[in-house]
């Protein structure tokens, strides 16, 4: 059957939504072809306009919901459909958790070919709103004013808003004030095409349990003579802001942060707690955006590590040492590896601040460092990994298997790359024993997952 016989662009079809995909879109089938429709819910019948047709699937948009799911609710944010950052806002939170569990199960089966492991129900939040302690705003000049907001998914079209309901309420209020202050000072906005202008991004971070706030202005290398005056006025009007920082990119880059950081007013870091530990957070530090769920996540990782006080633990992608300090309480020795030298420096400072002496931190890429450890015959008892979204490099994965730890605890923010990596380890003597998803990102399609892997006896 040829593609154009199935469905064409601009066609309107009736579609029954069966499930959701990993982009959060509803999935139905029309004459055997998968059709993806955002902002739909499994069980709904919808009238869909087809926007594009590919070889094996089509994409469409809702014209009308013919039969509503009882799980459909009114989204809080008026721009959530154009922003695209919280694609589950239109559905009941309990359903969100069920769908995220299914997405993890689907990745394990379809990508990892893993069918013999229990996926636990997702650990959700009592109040799944206002949980983000960090936000990165895009900046644009619109209708004669500087506007903060977010790019529409897949574009550079700004959706202006500082009132994202995923953000802590205090952060939203500060963002609104910062936007007004930027306009008062009439700062220029960076143009990606001409590579002219000053302001690139505005980042706001909050210590959830300390209520101290950092504001970062990410700029080009253009002169900013009003910088210190701007920072003083910001802190004078908002005393909760204890740190105002300028980060400078001298050359055009896709990265948010450049190599140079300038303290404009206050402290160079803010602090926050995870459990009984306190952490200093610098502008570029990776720190989980959902502080309330992070402790649950780390406690589960510690449970899976099953430490008795005699183990040597390797913490790969350790960041600023957050998980490492949790592990150190129950282990004999913890060694953390992290690519960023700044993060390693911060990790060491955090260990010292918390009087933790049985940890050490090493800078370097995992794919370079771990094979050398394996070649030297290093044999840790437990390895904990918390890689970025793209997962673990194959050289690093092979080195992990070669070191033959009794247990591996894999923390992931991407079920697809996690499943791929678990399959790799399953061929090298490891079995996934238990999978625990944790909802770190309510209202979005994303889910954090902790997996326990055990060495299989030969």
The count of C-alpha atoms lying within 13 angstroms of the C-alpha of 205, restricted to the half-sphere facing its C-beta, is 24
Domains 3-71 and 134-274 share a fold: yes
To the question of pTM greater than 0.85 for the whole model, the response is yes
Instruction: Tell me phi and psi for residue 135, to 5 degrees.
Output: -145, 145
- Residue corresponding to tokens 């609104």: 176
Task: Name the DSSP letter for residue 75.
Answer: -
For position 4, what pLDDT does the model report? 52
Give dist(CA 455, CA 458) in Å, integer: 9
Q: Per residue in 3-16, pLDDT tens?
A: 455 788 888 999 99
pLDDT of 458 above 70: no
Residue range 3-71, CATH number: 2.40.50.140
Helix%, strand%, coil% for the chain, nearest 5: 25, 35, 40
Joined together, the tokens standing for residue 293 give 């769920």
The pLDDT confidence band at residue 1, using thresholds 50, 70 and 90, is: very low
Residues 152-169 have a mean pLDDT of 90
Coil, strand or helix: which one is 288? coil
Coil, strand or helix: which one is 377? coil
pLDDT of 45 above 80: yes
Q: Is 97-126+290-455 assigned to CATH 3.40.50.150?
A: yes
- pLDDT averaged over every residue in the chain: 94
Q: What is the CA radius of gyration of the chain?
A: 24
Residues 355-378 have a mean pLDDT of 95
Active site residues: 413
Contact 270, 210 (CB under 8 A): yes
Q: Per residue in 406-447, pLDDT tens?
A: 999 999 999 999 999 999 999 999 999 999 999 999 999 999
Looking at CATH, the fold of the domain delimited by 134-274 is given as: OB fold (Dihydrolipoamide Acetyltransferase, E2P) (2.40.50)
Taking the domains of the chain in order of start, what are their residue ranges?
3-71, 97-126+290-455, 134-274
Contact 242, 267 (CB under 8 A): yes
Task: Name the DSSP letter for residue 56.
Answer: S
Return the top range by mean pLDDT from 149-153, 235-239, 454-458.
235-239
Q: Per residue in 30-39, pLDDT tens?
A: 998 999 999 9
């Amino acid at each position: 059957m040829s593609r154009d016989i199935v469905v064409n662009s601009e066609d309107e079809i009736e579609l029954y939504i069966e499930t959701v995909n990993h982009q959060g879109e509803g999935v139905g089938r029309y004459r055997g072809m998968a059709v993806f429709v955002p902002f739909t819910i499994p069980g709904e019948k919808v009238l869909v306009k087809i926007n594009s047709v590919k070889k094996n699937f089509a994409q469409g948009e809702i014209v009308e919901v013919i039969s509503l799911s009882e799980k459909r609710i009114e989204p809080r944010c008026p721009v959530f459909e154009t922003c695209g950052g919280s694609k589950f806002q239109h559905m009941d939170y309990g359903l969100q958790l069920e769908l995220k569990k299914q997405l993890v199960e689907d990745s394990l089966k379809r990508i990892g070919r893993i069918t013999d492991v229990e996926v636990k129900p997702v650990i959700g939040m009592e109040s799944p709103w206002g949980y983000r302690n960090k936000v990165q705003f895009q900046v644009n000049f619109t209708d004669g004013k500087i506007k903060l907001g977010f790019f529409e998914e897949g574009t550079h079209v700004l959706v202006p808003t500082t009132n994202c309901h995923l953000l802590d309420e205090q952060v939203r209020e500060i963002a609104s004030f910062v936007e007004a202050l930027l306009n008062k000072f009439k700062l220029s906005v960076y143009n990606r095409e001409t590579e002219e202008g000053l302001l690139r991004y505005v980042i706001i971070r909050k210590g959830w349990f300390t209520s101290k706030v950092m504001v970062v202005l990410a700029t080009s290398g253009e002169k900013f003579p009003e910088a210190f005056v701007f920072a003083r006025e910001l802190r004078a009007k908002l005393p909760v802001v204890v740190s105002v920082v300028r980060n400078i990119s001298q050359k055009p880059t896709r990265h948010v942060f450049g190599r140079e950081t300038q303290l404009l007013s206050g402290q160079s870091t803010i602090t926050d707690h995870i459990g009984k530990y306190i952490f200093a957070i610098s502008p570029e530090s990776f720190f989980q955006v959902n502080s309330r769920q992070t402790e649950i996540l780390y406690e589960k990782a510690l449970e899976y590590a099953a430490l008795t006080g005699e183990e040597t633990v390797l913490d790969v992608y350790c960041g600023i040492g957050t998980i490492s300090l949790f592990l150190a309480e129950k282990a004999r020795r913890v060694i953390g590896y992290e690519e960023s030298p700044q993060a390693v420096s911060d990790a060491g400072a955090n260990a010292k601040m918390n009087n933790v002496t049985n940890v050490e931190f090493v800078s370097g890429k995992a794919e370079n460092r771990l094979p050398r450890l394996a070649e030297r015959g290093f044999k840790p008892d437990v390895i904990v990994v918390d890689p970025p979204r793209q997962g673990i490099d194959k050289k690093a994965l092979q080195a992990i298997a070669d070191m033959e730890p009794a247990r591996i605890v894999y923390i992931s923010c991407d079920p697809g790359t996690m499943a791929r990596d678990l399959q790799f380890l399953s061929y090298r003597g490891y079995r996934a024993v238990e999978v625990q998803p944790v909802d770190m990102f309510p209202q979005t399609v994303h889910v954090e997952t902790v997996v326990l892997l055990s060495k299989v006896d030969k």
